[in-house]
Amino acid sequence: MELGGKSANIFFDDCNFDHAIDGAVMGILLSQGEICYAGSRIFVQDTFYDKFVDVLIKQFNSVKVGHSMDPNTMMGAIVNEKQLNKILEYVKIGESEGCKIGCGGVRITENGLDKGFYMKPTLLLDVKNKMRVAQEEIFGPVAVVIKFHEVDEVIAKVVDQRY
């Protein structure tokens, strides 16, 4: 795990699956992804990519977003509207680059959350390592998922960025 800038989390098919899913979720959604060591790039070995992504999407969709004083809340608001808009712009950039939104990607305004800066946890899929969303720090609850096959390939991808 590389911590800083565009932190990489690498998941091989022999990992403890449940722990890996938990790590991927907490790695990016802790502090709404607004933390320097957020696990914003999720590299998943191709041999179990589909299974991993399916479960990861279910986990992201089950995260309760809301007011931080609500004991059921799992993820709070983005720091301010300017940052929320920046994050949402990166989702659009990802789409324009050819990414697929696996889940999230939108502001939440239901149930009184329109008074704050809330966003659904977001996964961008079909990401290529050279895309802006894989290279630039989004600083929000957005993770990019990148497929790889072997160790040398993933190491080359992890280090192929400016951070």
Split at pLDDT 50, 70, 90, the class of 163 is confident
Residue 117, CA atoms < 13 Å, CB-side half-sphere? 15
Q: What's the confidence (pLDDT) of residue 41? A: 96
**Would you call 15 a catalytic residue per the annotation?**
no
Q: What's the confidence (pLDDT) of residue 155? A: 93
Ordered by where they begin, the domains of the chain are 8-159 (3.40.309.10)
**Would you call 36 a catalytic residue per the annotation?**
yes
Average pLDDT over residues 132-149: 97
The CA-CA-CA angle for residues 48, 45, 105, to 5°, reads 85
Q: What's the confidence (pLDDT) of residue 37? A: 86
Using one digit for the tens of pLDDT, what is the confidence trace for 1-56?
555 668 999 999 999 999 999 999 999 999 999 988 899 999 999 999 999 999 99
Using one digit for the tens of pLDDT, what is the confidence trace for 146-156?
999 999 999 99
Helix axes 17-29, 49-61, angle to 10 degrees: 50
Average pLDDT over residues 89-111: 97
Which entry of 15, 36, 89, 103 is annotated as an active-site residue?
A: 36
Q: What's the confidence (pLDDT) of residue 161? A: 86
Q: What's the confidence (pLDDT) of residue 12? A: 98
Q: What's the confidence (pLDDT) of residue 5? A: 63
| 83 pLDDT higher than 90 | yes
